[in-house]
Structure 1
Amino acid sequence: MENSTRNKIINGLSYLSILFLPVIFPLIVWIVAGKQADIRHHAVRAFWTQLIPVILGIGQLVIGAMYGFITNDLQSTSWLFIGMLAIVVLISVILFLYNIVKAIQVFIA
């Protein structure tokens, strides 16, 4: 198999791994890629675009819990949590679609 074809497959799978091994597969590719700049570039981008929703979700839980303990108001805490949840879901869907589109672009290029 030609080297560029193999790189395309690895790069595309780094983005498509959001379907089967999010965060883990791009991290493994990033570590194993070594000095291959093309593979490392796509693996790093895929890793961060798959990790951002996790970070945002954890941040949402922490902020919601802190706000709930400080205000002790169930209704305002619920509305804050629902609003933050909507934002996190929107960002997650956008990043999911971004990963799929980038995988298609890598395979076509």
Structure 2
Amino acid sequence: MENVNSNKYRNDEFYGSRNENIASSISYLSVFFAPVLLPIVMWIIADKPVSIHARKALFNHILTWVCFTLAPLALMLSASVMGNASTNTESWIVFGSWTIAVVLVVVGVYLFIKNIIRGIKLLLV
């Protein structure tokens, strides 16, 4: 088993002490309990390595929730157009809105999982 403290896994510009890594990890894993509030507080209060991770976590949390908010809106557009779809153009709008909704959900799930992975990586370094 490789040593996690080797230079392959650690870049001192982004990783700090053990306590800073735990604080940074909490800002990523806050997607479960305080998605926006905790990263904002840590970004304002914390020092350099923690504030960098808190900023990244904040933008990831915001983008995740934007994706999960816009996907149902795209499906609502699809449902409203489908109610009176009589032309070929309207069927393309339905197809496009479903495609956009699926892409937004996939991106949202990707960002959610990425936050979890980053939080766990910081706990292991």
Q: How does the TM-score come out when normalised to structure 2? A: 0.66
The 1:93/1:57 distance shift into structure 2, 3 A limit, reads: closer
Q: Would you say 1:91 and 2:74 are equivalent positions?
A: no
Percent identity of paired positions between Structure 1 and Structure 2: 25
When Rg is computed on C-alpha atoms for both structures, the one with the higher figure is 2
- Which consecutive residues of structure 1, in runs of 5 or more, have no partner in the other structure? none
Is contact 2:67–2:108 with CA below 8 Å preserved after alignment? no
Q: How does the TM-score come out when normalised to structure 1? A: 0.74
Report how many aligned residue pairs link the two structures: 100
Is contact 2:70–2:104 with CA below 8 Å preserved after alignment? no
Partner of 2:43: 30
Shift of residue 78, structure 1, vs aligned partner:
3.1
Partner of 2:97: 81
Query: What is the distance in 2 between the residues matched to 1:106 and 1:25?
Result: 17
Query: What is the distance in 2 between the residues matched to 1:56 and 1:90?
Result: 9
Query: What is the distance in 2 between the residues matched to 1:57 and 1:81?
Result: 14
Runs of 4+ aligned residues of structure 1 deviating over 2 Å after TM superposition are: 3-6, 53-62, 72-81
| Equivalent in 29, 52, 72 of residue 16 of structure 1 | 29
The answer to which structure has the higher helix fraction is 1
- Which consecutive residues of structure 2, in runs of 5 or more, have no partner in the other structure? 1-15
Shift of residue 57, structure 1, vs aligned partner:
4.8
Query: What is the distance in 1 between the residues matched to 2:120 and 2:54?
Result: 15
SS at match of 1:18: helix
